[in-house]
Amino acid sequence: MRILLSLALLLVSIASGHAADVNLLDQMSADGAVELPEAPGPWLTIGGPLGLALLFVTIIALNKLLVPFRASREDLTLYHYPTGVKRGLALALCLYGIAFLVGASEIPYQIHLHGSSREYFRQLSLGKMIAFTHAHLFGFTTEFVVIGVPFSMQFNHLSPYQWIFPIGLAACFVDVISWWGIKYVGQSFVVVSIACGVVFSVCYLYMLVGLLRVLLFPQVVWKSDRNWRERKARREASKRDR
């Protein structure tokens, strides 16, 4: 009977992708019952998320310490660039926005399919989890560099704007780490994942919309623009001449 039960559990584990992570015979007691591992203690369920929050704050603090703000002489005035560059960059930004929305739509789908975010991550094998982490870290870094560099150079005169790029990227990094906590510790890491998701989404979309405004609507002048007074005066003078 014990052998049949072991084989049945082994087949279920293979079907769910966990055969490599679970030694069923080691978890069998003398009477044939399966001994489940102990639930993680508060040091992991509470201390883990707090540790990730501290990691996020530490990354930002190191950024401020190692790369202090200074008024840069290098800028990137996008509305003065050639038409082809502006058209191509605007299209690329729109495609990045569509890719972001498509990726975000997968979250409620997977939660609905598996019942919870933890069940979704638990059904991923260790190999898939490593590949999943690699792909998202690479993708997050690439898309933030493509959008963050021109945004930071376009608004290089504004100190608060120089935080949007690094804060968003740091939130991406901590979010990816929290997925491992969800998989191996518990649902308490979901709070960190949601908070980081909100932070990097706001940063990402703010930079994207800000660049599209400069590229597609150069006639719209905001006080965040470096030469907004001169541009506004020229626009009003042009209206009077008409």
In degrees and rounded to multiples of 5, residue 34 shows phi and psi of -85, 125
pLDDT at 23: 45
Are residues 71 and 7 located together in one domain of the fold? no
Are residues 4 and 67 located together in one domain of the fold? no
Are residues 20 and 118 located together in one domain of the fold? no
Supply the DSSP string of 33-49, one letter for each residue. -B-PPPPP-HHHHTHHH
Are residues 8 and 58 located together in one domain of the fold? no
Are residues 170 and 78 located together in one domain of the fold? yes
How many structural domains is the chain composed of?
Answer: 2
pLDDT at 33: 56
Query: How big is the CA angle at 218 (ends 216 and 224), to the nearest 5 degrees?
Result: 115
pLDDT at 43: 86
Are residues 25 and 102 located together in one domain of the fold? no
Q: What is the per-residue pLDDT across 151-197, written as a single tens digit (0 to 9) for each?
A: 999 998 889 999 999 999 999 999 999 999 999 999 999 999 999 99
pLDDT at 69: 87
Are residues 104 and 144 located together in one domain of the fold? yes
pLDDT at 163: 96
Q: What is the per-residue pLDDT across 68-88, written as a single tens digit (0 to 9) for each?
A: 988 777 777 888 888 999 999
Are residues 193 and 85 located together in one domain of the fold? yes
Residue 28 has what DSSP assignment? B
**CB contact at 8 A, 43 and 150:** no
Are residues 123 and 8 located together in one domain of the fold? no
Q: What is the mean pLDDT of each run of 10 residues along the chain (242 residues)?
A: 40 40 46 62 88 96 92 79 91 93 91 91 94 95 94 91 96 97 93 96 96 89 80 74 70
Cα(5)–Cα(24) distance, integer angstroms: 10
pLDDT at 21: 43
pLDDT at 4: 38
In degrees and rounded to multiples of 5, residue 18 shows phi and psi of -115, 15
Are residues 5 and 85 located together in one domain of the fold? no
Domain that holds residue 22: 1-37
What pTM was estimated for this model as a whole?
0.78
pLDDT at 37: 62
Are residues 115 and 167 located together in one domain of the fold? yes
